[in-house]
Amino acid sequence: MHVTLVGAGALGRVYGVRLAASGTDVAFVVRPSRLAEASPFVIEQVTGPKRHDRLDAPERVAEVPRDTDAVLVTVRFDQLGPDLRDRLRSAPAVPIAILTPLLPAEYAALRSAIGGRVIAAMPGVSGYVDERDVVRYWVVSVVSTLLDDPGEAAAGLRAALEALARELHKAHLPARLERDVGSSNAATTTAFFPLIASIDVGGGIDGLLADKDLLSAAVDAAKECDALAGRIGKVASWAGLLTKFVGPFTLKPGVSFAKLVFPEAVRFVEAHFGAKLHAQHLAMGEAILAVGRAHDADMPALERVMARLRARAD
């Protein structure tokens, strides 16, 4: 099987290198400025067997190759725009699984531009690029990569997605088809957003905890977003559990405990959800506010967080 990754950041490298290590043919669609790069992709698993995998000569391409059997999109949320839609529209008629967090308008725009082969998906891994340009990542056996099940009416597409899931299983990345992944993706993204946006605003977790006004807005925005999430889909269990413990008297001891017991997890949160993804946070926050307006949901606390986020960009 030939799988193309659109994007070669932390997520794209984990999926691509693990697939390549199990014998899958893999290519990475990258920006034109990165086509001439020849550096290897190196990934290190934090959990379980602590695997170390290296792809010495990643195939970097400008367009999706014609012999591709499936596409995995791993770019940032703010990159799900017209340019990406144009590049994917010209791709072969194969499943295009979007591992990027999706909200309803963005999902609809992609399907309108490209067609029903655009499939909502949720990653089962997470990671960050460290100072060595090595991806440190987590795989948890109880969390699978989810691919939206198109149903029996789309038998050809479903068969191709099942083949992709088998390739991921072969790479020891649990995957399965499931219904309504799109709505779950949107709900989970919405529920989790206030925390990651506030970490960006605070310049890190410690900055968030030290800023009383920001912490108060973040806690209230988490409640608003949790309520909105419940109206648009089912929140993933891990995100629902986390948001229930976001509060002024639970967040601080929780962070202190995490720093003591899981220090690299704290580092991951700051590296992955901090200022590096500022443009994504801005775009995602505006999209969530638009979803709130569409559902007549008042979200003054999220507006306060977004005002701080916008100011940080100036």
- pLDDT attached to residue 141: 76
Same domain, 148 and 249: no
pLDDT confidence of 206, banded at 50, 70, 90? confident
Same domain, 195 and 164: no
Q: What is the CATH number of the domain that holds 108?
A: 3.40.50.720
The DSSP code sequence of 24-85 is -EEEEE--GGGTT----EEEEE-STT--EEEESS--EESS--TT-SEEEE---GGG-SHHHH
Q: Is the pLDDT reported for residue 254 higher than 70?
A: no
pLDDT confidence of 262, banded at 50, 70, 90? low
- pLDDT attached to residue 41: 98
| 263: Cβ contacts below 8 Å, ≥ 6 apart | none
- Structure-token pair, residue 94: 């194969």
Residue with tokens 């108060």: 216
Model confidence over 126-157: pLDDT tens digits? 898 989 999 999 998 778 999 999 999 899 99
Can you state the percent helix, strand and coil of the chain, rounding each to 5?
Answer: 55, 15, 30
- pLDDT attached to residue 261: 55
- In percent, the amount of the chain with pLDDT more than 70 equals 88
- pLDDT attached to residue 256: 61
* Cα distances (Å, whole numbers) of residue 117 to 95, 126, 156, 184: 5, 25, 10, 19
pTM above 0.95, yes or no: no
Which of 156, 179, 202 terminates a domain? The answer is: 179
3-state secondary structure of 94: coil
Q: Give the range of the structural domain holding residue 221, as residue numbers without chain letter.
A: 183-313
- pLDDT attached to residue 201: 93
Same domain, 205 and 116: no
Spacing of C-alpha 238 from chain mean position: 14
- pLDDT attached to residue 149: 97
Residue with tokens 């590296």: 271
- In percent, the amount of the chain with pLDDT more than 90 equals 74
pLDDT confidence of 6, banded at 50, 70, 90? very high
* Cα distances (Å, whole numbers) of residue 257 to 231, 253, 260: 32, 6, 5
Mean pLDDT for the chain overall: 90
- pLDDT attached to residue 273: 65
Rounded mean pLDDT, 194-211: 89
Say if residues 133 and 39 touch (Cβ distance below 8 Å): yes
- pLDDT attached to residue 264: 74
- pLDDT attached to residue 258: 59
pLDDT confidence of 48, banded at 50, 70, 90? confident
Looking at the structure of the chain, the number of domains it has is: 2
Q: Is the pLDDT reported for residue 178 higher than 90?
A: yes
pLDDT confidence of 242, banded at 50, 70, 90? low
pLDDT confidence of 239, banded at 50, 70, 90? low
Same domain, 39 and 171: yes
pLDDT confidence of 249, banded at 50, 70, 90? very low
Which of 179, 211, 229 terminates a domain? The answer is: 179
Same domain, 280 and 240: yes
Same domain, 175 and 303: no
Which of 179, 199, 214 terminates a domain? The answer is: 179
Q: Is the pLDDT reported for residue 265 higher than 80?
A: no
Between 253 and 188, where is the model more confident? 188
Taking alpha carbons only, the member of 130, 19, 120, 124 closest to residue 73 is 120
Q: What Rg do the C-alpha atoms of the chain give, in angstroms?
A: 19
pLDDT confidence of 268, banded at 50, 70, 90? confident
Sheet architecture: strand order including 25-29: 60-61, 25-29, 2-6, 70-73, 96-98, 118-122, 145-148, 175-178
- pLDDT attached to residue 143: 87
3-state secondary structure of 144: coil
Q: Is the pLDDT reported for residue 11 higher than 50?
A: yes
